[in-house]
């Protein structure tokens, strides 16, 4: 299958590929450029979620999508925590092109909704259903969860930002070589 580029223009989303910046848990860029891609099956579900969010006055901000397997190895080498990262030897749903990390924005102001923790906060506070965050943050997580699951996505219970296809393991793991232009540093 072919990876489909996800852009602000084509999908009406904000894209902030965190691993193309130093503002991630490794403290340095993992990608040399901020490419955002999904396989066709996942892209269809993203379009559904975008349409559902639009009706409610929200937009999505995407932090990560397809992650070349080389990047997954770098993340794992830095922080081999199976609660928050998939062992690259098993193959991450991100490296299969069928996972996305995102949050909700207010469509009018462009401000991110409070989710209680930042993206990639590797603590129990990031778990769906955590009640140690503010009621507003809990409600916002439920909004995101509702939109994404209504669009057909599966959630990962330990990361409020992570969604993947239910059958993610049925897709092949892909490396940077599948891209016309490399993402890796």
Mean pLDDT by runs of 10 across the 185 residues of the chain is: 94 98 96 97 98 98 98 97 95 98 98 98 97 98 98 98 98 97 89
pLDDT the model gives residue 37 = 98
Give the whole-angstrom CA distance, residue 123 versus residue 102. Answer: 17
**In the chain, beta strands by DSSP E:** 3-5, 14-15, 37-39, 58-64, 99-106, 154-156, 159-164
pLDDT the model gives residue 17 = 98
Structural domain containing residue 66: 3-177
pLDDT the model gives residue 60 = 98
Question: Is residue 159 flagged as an active site residue?
Answer: yes
pLDDT the model gives residue 64 = 98
Residue 183 lies in a domain: no
9, 70, 111, 159: which is the annotated catalytic residue?
159
pTM above 0.85, yes or no: yes
Residue 103 lies in a domain: yes
* Count of helices and strands (H, E) across the chain: 4, 7
Give the whole-angstrom CA distance, residue 50 versus residue 7. Answer: 13
> Which two three-digit tokens encode residue 154?
């599966």
Residue 48 lies in a domain: yes
Residue 185 lies in a domain: no
**Domain total in the chain:** 1
Residue 167 lies in a domain: yes
Contact 88, 73 (CB under 8 A): yes
Residue 98 lies in a domain: yes
> Which two three-digit tokens encode residue 75?
């993340």
Q: Which residue carries 């770098």 as its tokens?
A: 74
Torsion angles phi and psi, residue 102, rounded to 5:
-160, 170
Cα dihedral 158, 141, 19, 46 in deg (nearest 10) = 110
Give the whole-angstrom CA distance, residue 85 versus residue 158. Answer: 10
Q: Which residue carries 């409070």 as its tokens?
A: 114
Give the whole-angstrom CA distance, residue 108 versus residue 85. Answer: 34
> Which two three-digit tokens encode residue 58?
């929200």
Residue 184 lies in a domain: no
Count the residues in the chain.
185
Give the CATH number for residue 73. Answer: 3.30.1380.10
pLDDT the model gives residue 185 = 65
Residue 120 lies in a domain: yes
**In 65-127, beta strands by DSSP E:** 99-106
Strands ordered across the beta sheet of 154-156: 14-15, 58-64, 99-106, 159-164, 154-156
């Amino acid at each position: 299958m072919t990876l489909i580029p996800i852009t602000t223009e084509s999908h009406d989303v904000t894209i902030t590929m965190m691993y193309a910046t130093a503002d991630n848990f490794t403290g340095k860029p993992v990608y040399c450029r901020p490419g955002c891609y999904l396989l066709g099956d996942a892209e269809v579900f993203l379009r559904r979620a975008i349409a559902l969010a639009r009706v409610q006055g929200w937009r999505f901000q995407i932090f990560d999508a397809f992650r070349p397997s080389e990047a997954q190895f770098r993340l794992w080498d830095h922080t081999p925590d199976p609660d928050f990262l998939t062992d690259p030897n098993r193959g991450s749903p991100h490296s299969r092109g069928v996972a996305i990390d995102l949050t909700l924005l207010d469509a009018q102001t462009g401000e991110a909704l409070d989710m209680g923790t930042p993206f990639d906060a590797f603590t129990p506070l990031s778990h769906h259903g955590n009640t140690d965050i503010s009621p507003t943050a809990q409600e916002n997580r439920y909004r995101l969860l509702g939109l994404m699951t209504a669009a057909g996505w599966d959630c990962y219970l330990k990361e409020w930002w992570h969604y993947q296809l239910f059958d993610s393991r049925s897709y092949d793991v892909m490396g940077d070589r599948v891209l016309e232009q490399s993402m890796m540093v």
